[in-house]
Every structure is written in structure tokens, then in C-alpha cells.
Amino acid sequence: NAGVTQTPKFQVLKTGQSMTLQCAQDMNHNSMYWYRQDPGMGLRLIYYSASEGTTDKGEVPNGYNVSRLNKREFSLRLESAAPSQTSVYFCASSSQGVVTEAFFGQGTRLTVV
């Protein structure tokens, strides 16, 4: 049981380049999330998808787009990367209902130069 799988694990981009971060979960969870982690800033929500077919903005959505491809997969796209997007990105998933434990992937460390 893999849980939440993120690819790639590391990436270096040049300013202005685009890329897509991939995330897949095998726990049959309805909800999926993208967070970014920066030193001293904690985990900040970029976008989330409460269920297949829906997406909503979080605290820091500017510069990002998302696609909930199906129930398992939720991708994050940077259309024109900027140095301010250098961060560690985490995907997470959770089931809906009373218990809302979120399971996190291992993260993608992105550097924009």
C-alpha cells in the first residue's frame, strides 16, 4: 500500500519554465490537497479538491493551477516558474466524514533559478 505518491522528488527549473507536479493516492480518498512548505512559514494550502470534479483555492494559489484528473490523481502546474516558488511541495489526501486525518506524500523539492 503506497499511500500518497508524488513525482518528481527533486526538480530544478529556470525562471519562466513550466512543469507539472504529479500526485496519486491509493486509499480511495475523496479529498486531495497541495501545500507548500517554506522555512518559518509552516504548511500553506495552495489548492484543494474536496471531491472528484471540484477544486478550490487555498491561501496561496497565485501562480499555480490544478487538475483533479480522477479520484486518484491531483496535479499541480506551474505555468511560468518564479524564484518565489522555490519550496517543498506536499500533496495530501483524506477521506470525508467525521475523521479527517490527512495523509501526506514525501514531498517535491523544487528550486527555481
Partner 1 sequence: QQQVKQSPQSLIVQKGGIPIINCAYENTAFDYFPWYQQFPGKGPALLIAIRPDVSEKKEGRFTISFNKSAKQFSLHIMDSQPGDSATYFCAASKAGTALIFGKGTTLSVSS
Q: Is 62 in the site for partner 1 (CB under 8 A)?
A: no
C-alpha distance across the termini of the chain, in Å: 36
Q: Is 19 in the site for partner 1 (CB under 8 A)?
A: no
Among residues 13, 3, 10, which one has the least CA distance to residue 113? 13
Strands 108-112 and 10-13: parallel
Nearer to partner 1, 53 or 101 (CB): 101
* Among 17, 22, 44, 71, interactor with partner 1 by CB under 8 A: 44
Q: What does the buried/exposed string (b/e) look like for 59-75 if buried means 16 or more CB atoms within 10 Å of the residue's CB? A: ebeeebebebeebbbbb
Q: Is 4 in the site for partner 1 (CB under 8 A)?
A: yes
State in angstroms the smallest separation of the CB of 33 from partner 1. 5
Q: Is 64 in the site for partner 1 (CB under 8 A)?
A: no
Contact 47, 66 (CB under 8 A): yes
Binding site for partner 1 (CB under 8 A): 4, 31, 33, 35, 40-45, 48, 50, 58-59, 90, 92, 96, 98, 100-107
